[in-house]
Amino acid sequence: MPDSAQNAIIMNPSIPIHTHYLSPASLLVLPLRETPIFPPHSTTRTLSLRAQPVSQIALILQHGGGILHTGSIVMRRGDYADFVLDSWGDPLVRSYGFPGEDSQAIEHLLQFHSTILEGLAIMPKRSLLSFGVTAGEDEQFHEGDFVVHLDGYCTFFPLWKILTDFRCQEQGRSCEKEFMRYWAQRGSITVENEQVPPQNNPQNNKVAKRYILEV
């Protein structure tokens, strides 16, 4: 299972996650529809709005570093969550020895178990987490982002934990200092600093409007 809590900081706790990401209005426009689950190319894609009403969404993830990242997960309690967690931690699945550990294990389940795929939604980058050390511009932490993940993509290969430390040292930085720098910048919950919801996916807006009109 994911082991990222010690590698991430909630930078903007004023974001109301229930309305920001989980409300019916947000789930109508934010998820990436009919997009490859395993970028850049994959025959397995997220479902269309017609095939997956928002009430069906029960597992929310985000891409990061070219994988379906498990550093930040939102899951709805219920039978679906029990099934996902039981399958994810099943001794048989764990015995496969996926090199990407939890990330590749969940990718395997999504690819071969349609029941799990039917509940999945993938959010745009920087929605659930951003990256502070090893990231491209579209994944780099920006002020106001919800969560910063500090060890880059170490959930893909344990080796990344070593490489991330090396990268910090190579750039004349300390990973401990990186953590403390973000820790000092983290926000607190106040009415004044509440953030507006992230920008909608324009393509989803068009799909949602057409879907509503047709229905």
pLDDT tens track for 99-132: 656 788 888 899 889 999 999 999 999 999 898 8
Q: Would you place residue 207 in the very low, low, confident or very high pLDDT band (cuts 50, 70, 90)? A: very low
Degrees to nearest 5, angle at CA 152 with 186 and 200: 65
Higher pLDDT, 170 or 155: 170
- In the sheet with 59-64, reading across from the earlier edge strand, the strands are 67-75, 59-64, 120-123
Q: Would you place residue 134 in the very low, low, confident or very high pLDDT band (cuts 50, 70, 90)? A: low
What percent of the chain stands above pLDDT 90?
A: 34
Note if the pTM is more than 0.95: no
C-alpha 83/C-alpha 104 separation (Å) is 17
Q: Is the pLDDT of residue 181 over 90?
A: no
CB 83, CB 170: distance < 8 Å? no
Cis peptide before 31 (omega within 30 of 0): no
C-alpha 194/C-alpha 209 separation (Å) is 28
pLDDT for residue 7: 79
Nearest Cα to 71, choosing from 143, 161, 142, 144?
A: 161
Q: Is the pLDDT of residue 62 over 60?
A: yes
pLDDT for residue 43: 85
Alpha helices in 30-154 (DSSP H): 79-88, 91-95, 102-112, 114-117
